[in-house]
Amino acid sequence: MGIEEEKYCTEYTGFEMMLVSACRQIKNDDIVFNAFHWPFLAVHMAKLLHCPDLFAVLEVGQFQDELPRPIKMPYSISDPVLVPNSLFVGDSIDALSILQRGEITIALLSTSMVDKYGNCNTTVVGPYEEPIYRLPGGGGATEIAGMAKRLIWLIDDHIKRRLPEKLDFITDPGYLEGFNSRIKAGYPPDTGPEVIVTPFCIMKFDPESKEAYLDALHPNISIEQVKENTGWELKIAKEVKQIDPPTLKEIEVCRQTMRDAIDQYFILKPEWTTYL
Amino acid sequence: MPMKEAIEKLVHDDELVFFGGFGNGMTFSAAHEIIRQNKRNLKVTKCGGGIMFDQLIGAGVTNHIVTSHCWNGTGPQPAYNLRRSMEEGIPQKIIYNEQSLFMINMSFFAGYMGIPFVPIRSVVGTGIYDHPKEVGLKAARVKCPFTGEEICVVPAINPDVGVIQVQRADSEGNAQMWGLIGDTKYGINACKKIIVATEEIVDKKVIMESPERTIIGAHKVDAVVHEPWGAHPSSMQGFYYTDLEYRFKYAKETKIIEDWENWLEKWVTGVENRQGYLKVLGDKKINKLKAKPIIQGAVNYGY
């Protein structure tokens, strides 16, 4: 942050805090895998805030380091606006190979459910053969979770159902059964989930057991609140950090990005958009 | 030839059908004709099924989808026919042959290359690796003969028939696509029978002016269909933008079975062909979606 003291926003929603917190994870020299749908917003914000040079790769095969001008939020990874504004356009194998070669330094993924080892389920709720709720399937997230160096999970609602101890189905690999099971399954050792960002907090992963623990709180959220709404017996860091609220600049960019997303038919819940 | 004739001649019950287009250039016109012809027990494949597979499921023409994702990307919102099928068996319970995006792309790539399998680093340890049980072995781990490393391999997919929607092709079937290709080039070249639907039919000379845009050659193509707007409601680079409003409303209009039946009648079974569909869509919407030209990138091919 600058030499001048930052001016912070005092009124914002948990969803906005999640986006800002996720956006702060991205560095200007990162090579980011830009995935649908909340990561789209966080990456877009990073580009406008502290990452003007950010290099982004998208699943259909686009590599780019500039936003379309005039600024337009792509409605999805397959928006044609992404073509004349790219450095390279190939096919999906190009995009997924840059990931497999280990060149993607960070990836963000928003998802429905993440367990304590950072595995994700976007396939099915209930038994596989007789689903209570059928979900879309993994798409490219299976590879992104498998091969990005730093993986950031975004969960837009911090409730037990979204953060269960164990999943009905593993669509995207986190640390699988914990400890060294991810490496045994053949994933590169320098990859895997680094943080889970929710409207309440940031969780990180124990270096040995690979279990997620509470690392830092968003403002005005208590440790108890996080524990009560997490689906497993959540471990707590020795010193829980406090995350700064959004700065005025961050919140301005965040809200504009949310408005741009709504224009492209993204569905945002009313409680997320109170201040738009 | 007309789409009706191409589908009659080349797509048969029980076959594995590939559909091109990853979000952009999706072959909706072909999918709708398949529904009108009431094909049965098709296995269908593409990297992301989207609302096109949702329609094929709802209409009962497929009982087996091979894809990595099937949802309505606008919103995003559920694919309600997929959910009805898998949760309630309406109109029938389908097999969802779970893939990851890389897995299915590399399976098409192996098919394209004419080899039996290719290695990839993902999917081990996930449910995708071995679900559903009915489809048997669809990924395995082998020891690399050169390094001794354990690596995952996925099999070639060679569909019986494939259909793509491209920007332009000549009358023989030399077909060009630019912009967002996704899995289209490798997928279609892996197919045994091929239908090319195109926004424009051009002279062969136009194809030869930028041959690197050609994704499939005439020697493999069985039918060329001149089908403007065949990819609506997806986009076609240089021709039209995605119809987000239509796709957004699709979720609401198909959430309950009665509404889905009305939707199907309005847009698919109640029209004769793509021209009929475009009449329902209306000129106002068509003009709104038309792409504003961005002409760029002329290069020197001199030697």
pLDDT of A14 above 70: yes
The total of structural domains in chain A comes to 1
* DSSP tag of A53: T
Contacts of B123 in chain A (CB under 8 A): 142, 146
A199-253: pLDDT as tens digits: 999 999 999 999 999 999 999 999 999 999 999 999 999 999 999 999 999 999 9
The total of structural domains in chain B comes to 1
Min CA distance, B8 vs chain A (Å)?
A: 31
A92-139: pLDDT as tens digits: 999 999 999 999 999 999 999 999 999 999 999 999 999 999 999 999
Q: Give domain status of residue A145, yes or no.
A: yes
Displacement of CA B200 from its chain's centroid (Å) = 19
3 state DSSP class of A148: coil
Q: Give domain status of residue B37, yes or no.
A: yes
Q: Do B68 and A138 touch (CB under 8 A)?
A: yes
Q: Give domain status of residue B168, yes or no.
A: yes
Element (H, E) at B168: strand B161-169
**CA-closest candidate to residue A186, choices B295, B140, B303:** B140
CA angle A73, A74, A80 (to 5 degrees): 140
Residues 6+ apart with CB under 8 A from B284: none
Choosing from A6, A16, A59, A271, the catalytic residue is: A59
CA angle A61, A67, A71 (to 5 degrees): 130
3 state DSSP class of A245: coil
3 state DSSP class of B199: strand
Mutate to test the interface with B, among A33, A36, A41, A60 (most CBs of B within 10 A): A60
Q: What is the CATH number of the domain that holds B53?
A: 3.40.1080.10
What pLDDT score was predicted for residue A68? 84
Tokens of B47: 């990297």
Q: Give domain status of residue B110, yes or no.
A: no
Min CA distance, A143 vs chain B (Å)?
A: 6
Give dist(CA B126, CA B138) in Å, integer: 13
Tell me the CA distances in angstroms from A244 to A16, A27, A210, one per residue in order: 13, 17, 26
Give dist(CA B8, CA B15) in Å, integer: 13
Q: Do B179 and A77 touch (CB under 8 A)?
A: no
CA of A134: which chain B residue's CA is closest?
Answer: B83
A83: nearest CB among B67, B123, B179: B179
Mean pLDDT of B51-72: 98
Min CA distance, A240 vs chain B (Å)?
A: 32
Q: What is the CATH number of the domain that holds A64?
A: 3.40.1080.10
CB contact at 8 A, A193 and A118: yes
Q: Give domain status of residue B230, yes or no.
A: yes
Contacts of A112 in chain B (CB under 8 A): none
Give dist(CA B141, CA B168) in Å, integer: 41
CB contact at 8 A, B85 and B91: yes
pLDDT of B233 above 70: yes
Q: Give domain status of residue B197, yes or no.
A: yes
Is A59 an annotated catalytic residue? yes
Mean pLDDT of B225-254: 98
Q: Give domain status of residue B237, yes or no.
A: yes
Instruction: Enumerate the β-bridge partners of residue A233.
Output: none
Tokens of B96: 């969802």
ipTM score for this prediction: 0.95
**CA-closest candidate to residue A140, choices B128, B153, B110, B251:** B128
Q: Give domain status of residue A2, yes or no.
A: no
3 state DSSP class of A32: strand
Give dist(CA A146, CA A168) in Å, integer: 19
pLDDT of B59 above 70: yes
Write down the mean pLDDT value for chain A. 96
A147: nearest CB among B83, B106, B121: B121
pLDDT of A6 above 90: no
Give dist(CA A138, CA A121) in Å, integer: 8
Q: Give domain status of residue A246, yes or no.
A: yes
Structural domain harbouring A166: 14-271
Q: Give domain status of residue B133, yes or no.
A: no
Give dist(CA B252, CA B246) in Å, integer: 10
Structural domain harbouring B74: 3-98+158-288
* DSSP tag of A7: P
Q: Give domain status of residue B297, yes or no.
A: no
